[in-house]
């Protein structure tokens, strides 16, 4: 039975990989300037025209890679938080991590972007500092001496803190000039703005290294799912592992938020969908979650670039429209 479940999980992962590649190829073909599959193939093998190379390598491919990286980061971050807190509603958005990261990014944009100092290296680092500070404050306010931290209390604290961060972000936004104000509004709605190779080359190792660490600790996550008492009896250093995995989750969410805006629902819905597909084993759950998150953002971004909505709609709004019914379903199941 175990072998068949693992085989089914691996098959689903391979299917998701193929589906992601197909959507990526489709995304390279469609847009305001359509390219045929043959033209895209010629570009890939180095026989495309200068215009075709510009469209694929400078416009579409960076955005596709960014969509995948942000989806992986937000998805796995949400998966870690849900596993550690044993609550399907936990995510970087509901815990206020995204809002904390966003506040620091917005402060940086407000103070330094007009000076031409928008650094691809500093942005993820500042977002991480903001997310880490938000996480520390949330855990501090939810902590009760002599008692285990309540996941529900932690989420409610995160929602309250997130609202405060959002209010501060709004105050900063109102002080921006028109161009910066438009950028801030789009970023807060979930806009893949960092679709430049200089930003992607910073985010890529950030996501890959942290994901490797999380996959390496997949057995630890499986053990923690058995309960703290059982995990402690099996030799797991619960506090150390909890802190390490929480920092990894914050880092993944912060890097994704810095370059992709606040994709609130991706970090919550992706792990839940993945768990439905492959079960709770994190050796299968983590890669499945990463692929589901990547697919959600990639499909939504392809739709925004292909379909005319009468305005330039941020990708996050399309994601919100698509997954809100499923979010309401989760709420009804949790109540």
Mean pLDDT, range 266-283, rounded to an integer: 92
Q: Does the pLDDT value for residue 148 go beyond 60?
A: yes
pLDDT digits (tens, 9 = 90+) for 276-322: 999 999 999 999 999 999 999 999 999 888 887 666 788 888 888 88
Residue 5 has a pLDDT of: 73
Mean pLDDT, range 141-169, rounded to an integer: 77
Least confident of 76-90, 108-122, 231-245, 311-325: 108-122
Q: Does the pLDDT value for residue 250 go beyond 80?
A: yes
Residue 134 has a pLDDT of: 87
Are the C-beta atoms of 210 and 251 separated by less than 8 Å? yes
φ, ψ at 112 (rounded to 5°): -120, -20
How far is it, in rounded angstroms, from Cα 132 to Cα 248? 10
List all residues 6 or more positions away from 289 whose beta carbon is below 8 Å from its beta carbon: 75, 76, 78, 79, 270, 271, 274
Mean pLDDT, range 126-133, rounded to an integer: 87
Please state, for a pLDDT cut of 90, what percent of the chain lies above it: 30
Residue 126 has a pLDDT of: 82
pLDDT bracket for residue 205 (50, 70, 90): very high
Q: In terms of pLDDT, which residue wins out, 309 or 204? A: 204
How far is it, in rounded angstroms, from Cα 187 to Cα 202? 19
pLDDT bracket for residue 73 (50, 70, 90): very high
Residue 114 has a pLDDT of: 52
Residue 13 has a pLDDT of: 95
Residue 293 has a pLDDT of: 95
Residue 1 has a pLDDT of: 47
Are the C-beta atoms of 128 and 73 separated by less than 8 Å? no
- Share the mean pLDDT of the chain: 84
User: Using alpha carbons only, what angle is made at residue 169 by residues 163 and 171, rounded to the nearest 5 degrees?
Assistant: 110
Nearest to 223 by CA among 232, 210, 214: 232
- What residue ranges define each of the domains in the chain, with the CATH number in brackets? 5-334 (1.10.3470.10)
pLDDT bracket for residue 212 (50, 70, 90): very high
**Hey, CA dihedral for 223, 226, 232, 238, is it positive or negative?**
positive
């Amino acid at each position: 039975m175990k072998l068949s479940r693992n085989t089914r999980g691996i098959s689903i992962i391979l299917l998701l990989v193929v589906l992601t590649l197909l959507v990526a190829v489709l995304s390279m073909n469609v847009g305001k300037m359509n390219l045929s599959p043959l033209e895209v193939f010629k570009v890939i093998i180095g026989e495309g025209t200068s215009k075709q190379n510009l469209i694929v390598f400078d416009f579409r491919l960076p955005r596709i890679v960014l969509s995948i990286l942000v989806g992986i980061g937000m998805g796995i971050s949400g998966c870690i938080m849900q596993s550690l807190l044993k609550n399907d509603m936990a995510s970087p958005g509901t815990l206020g991590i995204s809002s904390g990261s966003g506040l620091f990014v917005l402060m940086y944009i407000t103070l330094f972007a007009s000076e031409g100092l928008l650094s691809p290296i500093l942005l993820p680092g500042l977002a991480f500092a903001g997310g880490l500070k938000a996480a520390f404050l949330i855990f501090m306010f939810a902590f009760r001496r002599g008692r285990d931290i309540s996941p529900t209390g932690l989420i409610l604290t995160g929602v309250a803190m997130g609202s405060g961060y959002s209010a501060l972000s709004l105050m900063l936004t109102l002080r921006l000039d028109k161009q910066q104000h438009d950028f801030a509004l789009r970023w807060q709605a979930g806009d893949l703005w960092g679709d430049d190779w200089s930003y992607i080359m910073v985010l890529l190792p950030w996501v890959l290294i942290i994901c490797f660490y999380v996959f390496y600790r997949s057995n630890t996550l499986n053990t923690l799912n058995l309960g703290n008492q059982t995990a402690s009896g099996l030799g797991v250093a619960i506090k150390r592992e909890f802190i390490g995995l929480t920092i990894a989750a914050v880092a993944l969410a912060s890097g994704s938020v810095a370059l992709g805006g606040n994709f609130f629902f991706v970090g919550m819905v992706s792990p839940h969908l993945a768990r439905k597909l492959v079960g709770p084993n994190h050796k299968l759950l983590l890669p499945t979650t990463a692929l589901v998150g990547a697919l959600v953002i990639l499909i939504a971004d392809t739709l925004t670039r292909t379909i005319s909505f009468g305005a330039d709609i941020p990708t996050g709004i399309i994601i919100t429209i698509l997954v809100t019914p499923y979010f309401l379903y989760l709420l009804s199941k949790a109540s």
